[in-house]
Chain A
Amino acid sequence: MVWTGWWNETRLAANSIAAYATDWVSPTLRLGVTGLSRSGKTVFITALVHGLLTAARWPVFEAQAQGRIARVRLEPQPDDGVPRFPYEDHLETLTARRQWPEGTKRISEIRLAIDFASNAGIMRGTEKTLTLDIVDYPGEWLLDLPLLAQSYAEWSRLAIEAARRPPRAPLAAQWLAATTATQPFDKASESNARRLAELFTAYLKSCRDERVSLSTLPPGRFLLPGEMEGSPALTFAPLDLDGREPAGDSLASLMEKRFESYKRLVVMPFYTNHFATLDRQIVLVDALAALNAGPAALADLEIALADVLTAFRPGANSILSAMLSRRIDRILFAATKADHLHQTSHDRLEGLLKRLTDRAIRRAEFAGARVDAVALASLRATRETTVTRLGRPLSCIVGTPMPGETTGGEIFDGQSEVAVFPGELPSDPAGLFAGPDAFRGEDYRFVRFLPPKADPTQPLPHIRLDRAVEFLIGDRLA
């Protein structure tokens, strides 16, 4: 939890009281969907909304299975300042064009109203409506939240230390050289600041390149600048201050000023307007891509997740806390793209996810929030089969790989279906974290598949999406 100063906390408390009052009249649940880039946020939301709207047969989703949900409808967006999640476009991209939609670049929101009959105690049988706001935002933004508690000097020190460690050092070489050549306490020049910021951004971007897949990269808006591109608040970089404080009109104090503006203009509004109002949170994790990229990426993902999760305010809501500050009382960690594995390996993927989020889970549970981890596929792109070769059965998945994907030396054209054996996850995930030689990158190769052929008017295939929905909103439909 981040302490953001009296003024902000008071404002949050006031908002919270207002929200609490509205909740009595019309219950609202704000569900945050986040995850680092390419973790499957957009597909998850599209599949979730589609499933609710088409009343998919979701056996694990109680309210649906008991037939208590009368109607689900899309409602106009509550926040006029936030873009609506373009559900229809994404659905079209997935089903008609069979392509994966563009990733989340900025925050967006979609509102659903669920009419249902209550099943709980005295209220049994009464008709109620739950308003579900789904908030989609890039997980990279969460990495910024810890910045609120850091000074420019601290942040510089941490950023430079991280850049000097092995997996990143080669990528950061150019920027580090430029930084070393810079005298932070000389007079500031805009061109110099700009050049350093560009090199720093280039370094961050190259880190996110798929083969390296490093995930801890604050400030997040450098990667997804959106409409702020080129503004001074995004034109700064860490400097090697040698423990001195920036002062006067030096480059260091210019950078410090911009760092503070970044916090004020970018991080804070996101925190107060969106993040601090969430009730439930799902964090999507693409553990398979990290496995594809090798042990360093996996270790990096672990750190990134731990950082992301320090931003949450988990905990059980008491009446007073529900009024004064909303807390996230349920967090679900989901390893997406479970359809890239045979279902007999799903529990191992879940084990890996639990290992990755272990610290966060314990912290949140200690605070009183409910936490679960699940391996899911929002839209199931594969089916399963058994391939028998030389009398040995091998559990495989069948799907159409994306054009250009390779496995076992074969390149796919994106037309024909193939059966793929993606490698075996270890039963004890601890081995994967043993160090840089824990596994060779080629022990696992998770091919990316095209979305399945599907009829958009029918429920879409999925894996455990219903379990996720039940955990996230099921109790509010009781």
Chain B
Amino acid sequence: MTKNSPQRPQAFRLDAEDVEIAPPSDAPVPVRSGPPVEAQLAPPGPPPKTGFWVKLFWTGLGGIVSLAFGMAVSRLVDDLFARAEWLGWIGVAAVALFLLAGLVLAGREMLALRRLRRLDDLRLRADKALVDKDDRAAAAIAADIVTAMAGNARTAKGRAAVALAFSDGVIDGLQRLRIVEREIIEPLDREATRLVAEAARRVSVVTAISPRAALDLAVVFGTAMQLIRRIAELYGGRPGTFGLFKLVRHVLAHMALTGGMAAGDTILDQLVGHGLAAKLSAKLGEGVLNGLLTARLGITAIAVTRPLPYIGAPRPDVRDLVGDAITLTRQNGDARPAA
């Protein structure tokens, strides 16, 4: 298609001999999704700047530790052989098992990290396409999300609905993204919100009735970890151990950025400052607060694992999630002018 020789308008009879005419259809042109997602990873931001000497330091230390470990193992096996040959073989077998399992575990962690990264990447690309109003990119992303969600059994119905909608007529990319969100992601959102509400409630109750502070802490921490993991699993992430670490770091960073504590502060003020909680029960106040914190954490976890930004779906709100206790404090807060 050059400027000089545009194709001329022309017509063909459907029974024409010299040309080949495909059966006419209403169907939209299938969107060729780009190369697989992993291949076109957006450059993942500026890499953390590690100084040359720091790298050298860690390389050296790593080398020393590995050598020491290898040495220790080989000496142990030698010792075992020196004592008795069968003991030596058992040692060798144990080392082999250790190495094998280590490799498998590492591989699994890598896979899990990659899955998480893929969700991240989809969200970033969708964000960009929405900002740029780039229809083609959006259509490709919509197709990619459907593919990525193929491994997620919960989305079978949604995927069928999406396929039906897409086969029906001409739909542009940005609208496709919204349909994918509505049919596939929104049911997952509802499930995720339920998980968060449940966790928040559990934390509230346990904090309110637990006899020891250490116990609260353990429960809050454990529930938070479990919540993050389950939300990631729900959206198709299945994080491993390292994935979970990464995710937690991500969630915390996100909370810090979005002022995760800000909303909590006003309520904290109401509870503590006006002495409501202290008057009723310090424990109850703490419980509400911990619940809030968990809810906020959960919402942040949803935001960082959801494969799409919010397009038309409602954003979950802490206040929707945490039951009556919060409504009470909120009304209280609204009634008084902020000091």
What's the minimum C-beta distance from A64 to chain B, rounded to whole angstroms?
11
Q: Check A461 for interface membership: any CB of B closer than 8 A.
A: yes
Inter-chain CA distance A385–B26, complex, in Å, is 9
Of residues 17 through 31 on chain B, the ones whose CB sits less than 8 Å from some CB of chain A are 18-26, 28-29
Q: Check A421 for interface membership: any CB of B closer than 8 A.
A: yes
Number of interface residues of B (CB under 8 A): 34
Smallest Cβ-Cβ distance to B21: which chain A residue: A387
B170 touches A387 (CB 8 A): no
Contact check: which of B11, B135, B169, B171 meets A420 at CB < 8 Å? B11
B11 touches A444 (CB 8 A): no
A66 touches B182 (CB 8 A): yes
Of residues 181 through 230 on chain B, the ones whose CB sits less than 8 Å from some CB of chain A are 182
Q: Check A244 for interface membership: any CB of B closer than 8 A.
A: no
A421 touches B7 (CB 8 A): yes
Given A389-B18, A398-B14; A383-B24 close (CB under 8 Å): yes
Q: Check B172 for interface membership: any CB of A closer than 8 A.
A: yes
Interface residues on A, range: 35 or more
Inter-chain CA distance A113–B93, complex, in Å, is 79
Q: Which residues of B contact A423 (CB under 8 A)?
A: 6-9
Q: Check B168 for interface membership: any CB of A closer than 8 A.
A: yes
Of residues 412 through 457 on chain A, the ones whose CB sits less than 8 Å from some CB of chain B are 412, 416-424, 426, 442-445, 447
Inter-chain CA distance A113–B9, complex, in Å, is 45
Of residues 24 through 67 on chain B, the ones whose CB sits less than 8 Å from some CB of chain A are 24-26, 28-29
B22 touches A57 (CB 8 A): no
B23 touches A464 (CB 8 A): no
A343 touches B29 (CB 8 A): yes
Inter-chain CA distance A27–B165, complex, in Å, is 30
Count: A-B pairs, CB below 8 Å: 119
Q: Check B175 for interface membership: any CB of A closer than 8 A.
A: yes
Q: Which residues of A contact B7 (CB under 8 A)?
A: 394, 421, 423-424
B24 touches A384 (CB 8 A): yes
Q: Which residues of B contact A69 (CB under 8 A)?
A: none
A447 touches B11 (CB 8 A): yes
A418 touches B14 (CB 8 A): yes
B6 touches A389 (CB 8 A): no
Inter-chain CA distance A396–B273, complex, in Å, is 73
Contact check: which of A60, A343, A444 meets B175 at CB < 8 Å? A60
B8 touches A408 (CB 8 A): yes
Chain B proximity mask over A371-398: 1 for CB below 8 Å, otherwise 0? 0000000001001111111000010101
Chain B proximity mask over A456-468: 1 for CB below 8 Å, otherwise 0? 0000011110010
Q: Which residues of B contact A447 (CB under 8 A)?
A: 11
Q: Check B146 for interface membership: any CB of A closer than 8 A.
A: no
Contact check: which of B11, B28, B169 meets A421 at CB < 8 Å? B11
Given A385-B22, A467-B172; A60-B179 close (CB under 8 Å): yes
A421 touches B179 (CB 8 A): no
Given A59-B165, A62-B182; A442-B29 close (CB under 8 Å): no
B135 touches A347 (CB 8 A): yes
Inter-chain CA distance A59–B161, complex, in Å, is 10
What's the minimum C-beta distance from B20 to chain A, rounded to whole angstroms?
4
- Known A398-B24, A408-B11; further 7 A-B contacts with Cβ < 8 A: A383-B26, A396-B21, A410-B11, A418-B11, A421-B10, A443-B6, A443-B8
- List 19 A-B residue pairs with CB atoms under 8 Å apart, sorted by A's residue number: A59-B171, A59-B175, A385-B21, A385-B25, A388-B22, A389-B19, A396-B21, A407-B11, A408-B10, A410-B11, A419-B12, A419-B24, A421-B7, A422-B9, A443-B9, A461-B169, A464-B169, A464-B172, A467-B172
Residues of chain B whose beta carbon lies under 8 Å from any beta carbon of chain A: 1, 6-14, 18-26, 28-29, 135, 165-166, 168-172, 175, 178-179, 182, 312
In order of increasing CB-CB distance, the 9 nearest A-B pairs are A59-B165, A383-B24, A398-B24, A423-B9, A445-B9, A385-B24, A388-B20, A389-B19, A419-B12
